[in-house]
Structure 1
Amino acid sequence: MSPANVPLWAAFIVVLLALAGAGLSLTGAFGLIRLKSFYERVHAPTLGATLGMALIMGSSVLLLSITEGHLVMQEVLIGVFLTVTTPVTLILLARAAAHRDRYENNPDAPPKM
């Protein structure tokens, strides 16, 4: 089956998932611009990217599974990689910034636990 012959119900779900994922990613990007401190800014894109990626990945898996005629799961590997690496990167960036801010005696530094 070609992508042009996808049933209407499936096309509607694919578009809905892709738009919802893009909207969440865009919301995370706006949070990156709008929020003031580094610690606030680093959090918004991480949440938007993770959930937005999951919805876009779901739409891709659905579309490819329908067009190929069997379950296509290659995109899930990309999703697993992004789901694992994005929060780990957030934690490493936040810890490095907190360490730097404490070392420089920045008054906005988070308290040491």
Structure 2
Amino acid sequence: MSIILLITVILLCIGSFFTFVGSIGIVRMPDVYNRIHSETLCVVGGSILVFIAIAIYGITLSELSSIPFGIKALLIAGFLFVTNPVGSHAIARAAHKSRARLYSETKVDELEEFEK
């Protein structure tokens, strides 16, 4: 087994683990704000690591046709890394403006205090 294949397998396993844990969090979390946190874990910890593994494997293959495939995977990972926080923030703001209920044990709502 080559070192590149080992790195790819490790990244895929870590990415799959983060996606699994984040998916459980989406189901188990009590309110929309905590679910957004779990969704971010799925994308940043899971999907991006999987795309990086695909890129590493694609770029290091000896076939020239796989290099653009690896570069595209890196571009997708970068796009997800930039757009996911923006999307999560927009969803959280929309949920707050629509008065989505907070978890009963939430003690502080700093955005509510800021908007007064």
TM-score range, shorter chain: 0.7 to 0.9
Contact 2:23 2:38 in 1 (8 A): yes
In structure 2, which of residues 39, 44, 64 is the aligned counterpart of residue 45 of structure 1? 39
Answering whether residue 18 of structure 2 is matched by residue 29 of structure 1, we say no
Aligned counterparts of 1:107 and 1:82: Cα–Cα separation in 2: 27
* Structure 1 position 84, deviation (Å): 1.7
The residue that corresponds to 1:20 in the other structure is: 14
The residue that corresponds to 2:97 in the other structure is: 99
The residue that corresponds to 1:10 in the other structure is: 4
TM-score (norm 2): 0.76
- CA RMSD of superposed structures (Å): 2.3
TM-score (norm 1): 0.77
Answering whether residue 108 of structure 2 is matched by residue 112 of structure 1, we say no
The residue that corresponds to 1:73 in the other structure is: 71
Aligned counterparts of 2:102 and 2:41: Cα–Cα separation in 1: 27
What percentage of aligned pairs have identical amino acids? 25
For structure 2, list consecutive stretches of 5 or more residues without a partner in the other structure.
none
For structure 1, list consecutive stretches of 5 or more residues without a partner in the other structure.
1-6
In structure 2, which of residues 76, 80, 83 is the aligned counterpart of residue 82 of structure 1? 80
Question: Which portions of structure 1, spanning 4 or more consecutive aligned residues, are displaced by more than 3 angstroms?
Answer: 68-72, 106-110
Report the number of matched residues: 104
Aligned counterparts of 2:59 and 2:74: Cα–Cα separation in 1: 12
Change in CA separation of 1:74 and 1:107 when aligned onto 2, cut-off 3 Å = closer
